[in-house]
Amino acid sequence: MTAPTLRRYLTQNSFDPDLVFLLEDIASASRLIAGLVRRGAFEGNLGAAGEINVQGEAQKTLDIMANDVFERECANSPRVAALVSEEVEEVTWLKEPQKGDYLLYFDPLDGSSNLDVNLSVGSIFSVMQVQADGDRNVLHNGRNQICAGYAIYGPSTMFVVTKGDEVAGFSSDPDTGEFSLTHPKMTVPAETSEYAINTSRARYWYTPVSRYVDEAVAGKEGPRGRSFNMRWTASMVADVHRILTRGGVFLYPADSNNQKTGGKLRLMYEANPMAMVIEAAGGAASTGQGAIMDVAPTAPHQRVPVILGSRDEVAVLDSYHKDAADS
């Protein structure tokens, strides 16, 4: 039996028709960005752009190009009222907002530091809705997401999407570019023996994270009684995709170096959408103090700690944070 196309899946799974159009625009942007990534070395686009974005991070040329693609493709939808991008300081309003219009949040090229070494990168997106006619508030709780997902540009280009009930993965045909369902009903195993964290930051970690990693490193002889593997790619999309396909836990926690900024990863277009994907797949997503999607946003580019993946391991980390708070 032929695998369902992205459009067929969306229409058969009760996605609103206007949301189908927007998701097809996001998928189209993903295909175009995948092409830019593939051609980057030939066209001299892998290096730095010489600009600093709103995050205080050096932009890559492809960061800017990917953002332009996202904006151009997704502005086609008459229901999109605003764009909130990692690469743009201010919210981009496309129209006078009406109740039910879409608010699109996105990281156009996550993990771009990996471009020069030819590792997987991706795009992350989240969709929410305007709450009332004329309402220009874009700071909505993550539970208000109506859809979220990501694209990953690796050996194959994949598009992963959820509206909260299940997670579906689509692969792009290299000849036609069409996305077909190849990974239906993706789930995160409840238990895992794999974790992803940037160990170069170990000197900054607070006690709960140090405790967790020390116990994992101790392996069978330690208090956890089993061996763990550590994986880290410096691309949230790549790390989360691995967890979604085979289990694991991803950590970019608050530490003594990033505490003043609230953490490292952005709530609205990184943490919230990935939390929605992981929870819909049976996993959990936490700041260490509570669920990511329960965080009340205060700014479009707000940062938060992120701990997400296999449900049982996130619960262990939450308990370690509670122990530290109670001591």
312 labelled ligand-binding: no
DSSP, collapsed to helix, strand or coil, labels residue 211 as helix
133 labelled ligand-binding: no
172 labelled ligand-binding: no
Cβ contacts of residue 200 below 8 Å, gap of 6+? none
| Closest-CA residue to 229 (of 242, 238, 61) | 242
Tokens of 285: 């997503």
Whole-angstrom CA distances from 112 to 33, 39, 62 are: 12, 14, 8
* Amino acid, single-letter form, for residue 2: T
Rg of the chain taking only CA atoms, in angstroms: 19
| Closest-CA residue to 291 (of 305, 270, 312, 310) | 305
244 labelled ligand-binding: no
85 labelled ligand-binding: no
50 labelled ligand-binding: no
112 labelled ligand-binding: yes
30 labelled ligand-binding: no
109 labelled ligand-binding: yes
Q: Residue 102 has what DSSP assignment?
A: E
- 283 near 188, Cβ under 8 Å? yes
- In terms of Cβ atoms closer than 10 Å to its own Cβ (0-12, 13-18, 19+), residue 147 is buried
Distance CA 248, CA 172 (A): 25
113 labelled ligand-binding: yes
What residues are designated binding site for substrate?
110-113, 198, 264
What residues are designated binding site for Mg(2+)?
86, 107, 109-110, 270
What residues are designated binding site?
86, 107, 109-113, 198, 264, 270
